[in-house]
Amino acid sequence: MNQFPSAHLLAEIRSRGPLVHSITNTVVTNFTANVLLAVGAAPAMVDIVGESGMFAGIANGLLVNLGTPTPEQRLAAVEAAEGATQAQTPWVLDPVAVGALPIRTELARKLADMHPTVIRGNASEILGLAGASAGGRGVDATDSTGSAAEVAMQLAREKETVVAVSGPEDFITDGDRVIRVKNGDAMLTKVTGGGCALGAVIAAFVAVRSTAIENQDVSVLDAVAAAHVVYGVCAEIAVGDGTTRVGPGTFAVNFLDALHAVTPEEVSAKERTFETTQLQVSK
Amino acid sequence: MNQFPSAHLLAEIRSRGPLVHSITNTVVTNFTANVLLAVGAAPAMVDIVGESGMFAGIANGLLVNLGTPTPEQRLAAVEAAEGATQAQTPWVLDPVAVGALPIRTELARKLADMHPTVIRGNASEILGLAGASAGGRGVDATDSTGSAAEVAMQLAREKETVVAVSGPEDFITDGDRVIRVKNGDAMLTKVTGGGCALGAVIAAFVAVRSTAIENQDVSVLDAVAAAHVVYGVCAEIAVGDGTTRVGPGTFAVNFLDALHAVTPEEVSAKERTFETTQLQVSK
Amino acid sequence: MNQFPSAHLLAEIRSRGPLVHSITNTVVTNFTANVLLAVGAAPAMVDIVGESGMFAGIANGLLVNLGTPTPEQRLAAVEAAEGATQAQTPWVLDPVAVGALPIRTELARKLADMHPTVIRGNASEILGLAGASAGGRGVDATDSTGSAAEVAMQLAREKETVVAVSGPEDFITDGDRVIRVKNGDAMLTKVTGGGCALGAVIAAFVAVRSTAIENQDVSVLDAVAAAHVVYGVCAEIAVGDGTTRVGPGTFAVNFLDALHAVTPEEVSAKERTFETTQLQVSK
């Protein structure tokens, strides 16, 4: 059995119910809130100027997702990032479709300089944020996770953050250590918000990382990996054992049920992560 | 069998299909519309300036929910409230997360002075609206229903409205009579919009209260209680008999199915309401 | 077996995964995206000024749905229509609730003059767009499909577009030919977005009509009919064989599963379309 604290942090979320402030896109707000509720966290979306910054101080974690960034939401996102920083609320930046689209790309780069605790995206989005690619087509990755690995490590070092690249195998790094998560199922790409809601779950896991295990803090890197593990394990449970073909409608229902029902023991039993040796990246 | 007209009003909704204009938050629009359709009403969301007021006159009921109040929606909400008042369309105010957050709190107090037919919220929101508490954390109640009872009665008298406080036991008052509804299930708090969609259902029930039973109008208080009963009964049906553990994904599906299938007879058989003696509240 | 290429275009969508840019209302964004994913297309919603036009050039198809048109989205819709025209991206206009509500009616008429590839609505909306009716109440049709047939043909000729009128029997015309589609189920009217998501599916089908069959393009008219057929067949599958009563919650889940699982052979077997003789419409 490996040493990642996925099971422990899941139990912490269940007992502490972290409040996750989610500034996210109109396509996935509902699914994101239901995913947070199912896993044991409490969602709230406060994306207007004059409230988002204050609420980032009340919340235990913050997600800033740039999927449908209206002018009001763009201002509210910056306000929330400032509020989170002042209140030391951990926050996650999800640069949806960044790269090809100019307004969100400029905003994402500004936010990336405001010390997010975590940056999460698919390979094309991470490359797009780093200026190393024009980004994918919309929300789909057109670059492989492997192609983003070095850029992700470089980005993590430059921004002093943890970068998570989602894909068939997730790649998570703080610029030094690298954790790969093999849990998950491709069916997550057939339900809208499969990636976006993960950003909110990451915020929930990072929110409870303090003194989670015998008064020792879990590192941000390990907490982010734990979120990916629990999320991926629940996707595997939702797909089932393969005796029945599960469609995307049933999968989404099963996935919420699994997030609610999965036990820490099941997570530990199904976890498939490994920590790789440090990649050599020129500074 | 008790005297509350839950079963009768449910039949009225099914036969008349009231059009419920729902100005609500981006997290729950979809669920709210599906709940209204399932119970037999017709949803429509018109939340832009220049249309919302006119549409409040066309609709049979109006919900104004302040979950994600953009500047445009704030103006449209006031326009809709004015349009509803002019056209005598009954309307429900749901002061989501009011108390701690300044912009929606100011707006909610303005709207509460515009003669809503019903004000619905959890205990923290009702206390927050009345200025008696800083409100909960986000959408969660941190105050008990009991603690809000006297404030709710006072608020109902001052605003000449019906106030409904949602909780494990719902508390509904017109400032004089009090009806408590014990139907429901905690699983409603595990699906986002469990409370918000109830606000829309209340609007549907109040919309059909006129001449519902032998040419006698049902009172607003009784119609609001009826909405809580039908909603709560369907939550109980959705949870099932306890032989299988129902997760939040399955619960939401079952709940919509139950709203569609529940018969007036089932509602009557499962209704658990009681009217309490008037609390003594100083004026 | 008839000659409509529903089965062929479905296979094309599965293999090519057209990117459908969906500017749509906040009530149905999530369902629309999930419907597109289930059928094999890729959704993306880019509804801000400064990005929507550019993205309409990247996408393979565009939907402009006027359900909740905020000021920002109204500008973005026009920008997207211009971008689509420049890039020759096919696009669909869905004039939700047009007729009675002035702001969207003015915008819909402006967009209808910008050469949409397809206009899709219920009978009241088509009549409202053409100025022949005050429109329905909200999103519901209060006029029959038959009553809109001549107006639809006239509109198709005037705007040089294909007009699709949804109803118990769908009426689709390019102003010359008429295809009627009898597939579908009334349960689609009990799930919000049942009509709106069809607009996005139409965009996906039109996006893959080129060189679909032996290097021969499918006409826009036939591609629109094919979308209605596949959509309707999946609704029939979702309702089941009638041995169990299917509620709207279960129906929505089944429908997404069916869109994912349905085979071209099933579509061909269940297709119920017929092409009528040309109606005589005075110019």
Nearest to B37 among C67, C137, C191 (CB): C191
pLDDT of residue A250: 98
- Of the residues A48, A65, A101, the best mutation for testing chain C's interface (the one with the most C CB atoms within 10 Å of its CB) is A101
Pick out the residues of the known binding site of B for substrate: 45, 193
What value does the mean pLDDT of chain A take? 92
pLDDT of residue A135: 57
For residue B280, being part of any structural domain is answered with no
pLDDT of residue B142: 67
pLDDT of residue A283: 37
Nearest CA in chain C to A69: C48
- Supply B41's token pair: 């009403």
* DSSP calls for B230-246: HHHHHHHHHHTTSSSPP
Q: What is the nearest CA distance from B190 to chain A, expressed in angstroms? A: 5
Q: What is the nearest CA distance from A10 to chain B, expressed in angstroms? A: 17
Least confident of A138-142, A206-210, B165-169: A138-142
**Does C192 contact B33 at a Cβ distance shorter than 8 Å?**
yes
Residues of chain A neighbouring B29 (CB-CB closer than 8 A): 30
pLDDT exceeds cutoff 90 at C60: yes
**Please, which chains are in contact with A (at least 3 CB pairs closer than 8 A)?**
B, C
**Does C43 contact A192 at a Cβ distance shorter than 8 Å?**
yes
**Does A103 contact C42 at a Cβ distance shorter than 8 Å?**
no
pLDDT of residue B278: 55
Nearest CA in chain A to C57: A137
* Total length of chain B: 283
Q: What is the nearest CA distance from B28 to chain A, expressed in angstroms? A: 6
Confidence of residue A141 (pLDDT cuts 50, 70, 90): low
Rounded Cα distance between B164 and B221, Å, is: 9
- Write out residues in chain B with pLDDT < 70, as ranges: 1-4, 133-142, 212-215, 277-283
Q: What is the nearest CA distance from C145 to chain B, expressed in angstroms? A: 20
Q: Counting one residue from A and one from C, how many pairs have CB atoms under 8 Å apart?
A: 99
Residues of chain B neighbouring A47 (CB-CB closer than 8 A): 68
pLDDT exceeds cutoff 70 at A2: no
Q: What is the nearest CA distance from B4 to chain C, expressed in angstroms? A: 27
Q: Domain span at residue A181?
A: 6-276
* Total length of chain C: 283
| Residues C1-44: tens digit of each pLDDT | 345 689 999 999 999 999 999 999 999 999 999 999 999 999 99
Confidence of residue A280 (pLDDT cuts 50, 70, 90): very low
pLDDT of residue A132: 80
Confidence of residue C132 (pLDDT cuts 50, 70, 90): confident
| Residues C219-261: tens digit of each pLDDT | 999 999 999 999 999 999 999 987 888 999 999 999 999 999 9
Strands in B113-168 per DSSP E: 118-122, 162-166
Q: What is the nearest CA distance from B32 to chain A, expressed in angstroms? A: 11
Nearest CA in chain C to B238: C249
Nearest CA in chain C to A29: C30
* DSSP calls for C37-104: HHHT-EEE---STTTHHHHHHHSSEEEEE-SS--HHHHHHHHHHHHHHHHHT--EEEE-TTBTTBHHH
For residue C282, being part of any structural domain is answered with no
Rounded Cα distance between A92 and A63, Å, is: 5
pLDDT of residue B141: 64
Confidence of residue C134 (pLDDT cuts 50, 70, 90): low
Q: What is the percentage of chain A residues whose pLDDT exceeds 90?
A: 84
**Half-sphere exposure for B22 (CA within 13 Å, toward CB):** 35
pLDDT of residue A189: 96
Do residues A203 and A220 lie in contact, with contact meaning Cβ atoms separated by under 8 Å? no
pLDDT exceeds cutoff 50 at A173: yes
Nearest to A34 among B69, B192, B250 (CB): B192
Dihedral of CA C41/C45/C49/C50: which sign?
Answer: negative
Rounded Cα distance between A143 and A135, Å, is: 8
C interface with A, Cβ–Cβ < 8 A, is: 19, 21, 26, 29-30, 33-34, 37-38, 42-48, 50-51, 54-55, 58-59, 70, 72, 252-258, 260-261
**What is the phi-psi region of residue C157: left when phi exceeds 0, alpha when psi lies from -120 to 50, beta otherwise?**
alpha
Nearest to C102 among B50, B254, B256 (CB): B50
For residue B281, being part of any structural domain is answered with no
Rg (CA), chain B: 17
For residue B177, being part of any structural domain is answered with yes
**Does B38 contact C245 at a Cβ distance shorter than 8 Å?**
no
Confidence of residue C142 (pLDDT cuts 50, 70, 90): low
- Supply C101's token pair: 């509500």
Do residues B99 and B136 lie in contact, with contact meaning Cβ atoms separated by under 8 Å? yes
**Does A193 contact C30 at a Cβ distance shorter than 8 Å?**
yes
**Does C104 contact B51 at a Cβ distance shorter than 8 Å?**
yes
For residue B74, being part of any structural domain is answered with yes
Residues of chain A neighbouring B141 (CB-CB closer than 8 A): none
pLDDT of residue C136: 57
- For residue C133, the domain's CATH number is 3.40.1190.20
**Does C45 contact A30 at a Cβ distance shorter than 8 Å?**
no
- Supply A138's token pair: 């919309």
Rounded Cα distance between C73 and B47, Å, is: 13
Amino acid, res. A66: L
For residue C1, being part of any structural domain is answered with no
Rounded Cα distance between A272 and A2, Å, is: 9
ipTM more than 0.90? Answer: yes
Nearest to B256 among C28, C137, C247 (CB): C247
Looking at residues A4-18, what average pLDDT do you find?
93
Rounded Cα distance between B83 and B86, Å, is: 5
Rounded Cα distance between A34 and A224, Å, is: 20
Amino acid, res. B108: A
Q: What is the nearest CA distance from B218 to chain A, expressed in angstroms? A: 34
Looking at residues A188-206, what average pLDDT do you find?
97
For residue B56, being part of any structural domain is answered with yes
Angle at B55 between CA C165 and CA C47, to 5 degrees: 65
pLDDT of residue B282: 39
Nearest CA in chain B to A50: B103
For residue B283, being part of any structural domain is answered with no
pLDDT of residue C143: 73
Report the number of distinct structural domains present in chain B: 1
